[in-house]
């Protein structure tokens, strides 16, 4: 079992559920009305990537104003609170790279909540709600904060 797999299992244990990466190595969790996807690097030992969709482009694509707004939000990391904002396929994505060294499930939960809160604020500022997860979710408390899985 990799460090990543152990960490995800511990996060699930803290939430009182079974949580494990799928066959492709992805784990999904919802927090603060944002669906977060987590994936480790190739070895599962160095870092993980957590990301969420901020907005999905309409059929005609993102407007120039939206793209300018995204670039401005990303400048100096101020509005993205140190995260990374980019475009993948037809979506604006907010992501965080988290080193696995000395990472605990509690610290991971805190980082995921910070990412979710930043994503929610950005989604609100773009006036485009992020798409909801199609999977069923359950609500759990982890250290006083609410997470959904």
Q: Is residue 110 a part of any domain in this protein?
A: yes
Secondary structure (3-state) at 32: coil
What tens digit of pLDDT does each residue of 69-100 get?
Answer: 899 888 877 788 889 999 998 999 999 999 99
pLDDT band with cut points at 50, 70 and 90 for residue 4: very high
Average pLDDT over residues 8-28: 90
pTM above 0.85, yes or no: no
- Name which residue leads in pLDDT, 111 or 133: 111
pLDDT band with cut points at 50, 70 and 90 for residue 128: low
CA distances from 141 to 4, 15, 16, 144, 148 (A): 21, 7, 9, 6, 8
Q: Is residue 149 a part of any domain in this protein?
A: no
CATH code, 39: 3.30.1460.10
Domain count of the fold of the chain: 1
Q: Is residue 137 a part of any domain in this protein?
A: no
């Amino acid at each position: 079992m990799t460090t990543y797999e152990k960490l995800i299992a511990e996060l699930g244990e803290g939430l009182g559920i079974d949580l494990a990466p799928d066959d492709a190595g992805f784990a999904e969790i919802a927090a603060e009305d944002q669906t977060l996807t987590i994936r480790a690097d190739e070895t599962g030992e160095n870092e993980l990537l957590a990301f969420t969709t901020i907005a999905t482009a309409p059929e005609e694509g993102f407007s120039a104003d939206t793209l300018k707004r995204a670039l401005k939000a990303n400048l100096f990391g101020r509005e993205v609170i140190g995260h990374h904002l980019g475009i993948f396929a037809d979506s604006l994505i907010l992501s965080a790279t988290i080193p696995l060294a000395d990472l605990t499930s509690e610290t991971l939960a805190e980082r995921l909540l910070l990412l979710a809160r930043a994503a929610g604020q950005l989604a609100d500022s773009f006036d485009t709600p992020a798409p909801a997860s199609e999977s069923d979710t359950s609500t759990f408390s982890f250290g006083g904060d609410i997470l959904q899985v």
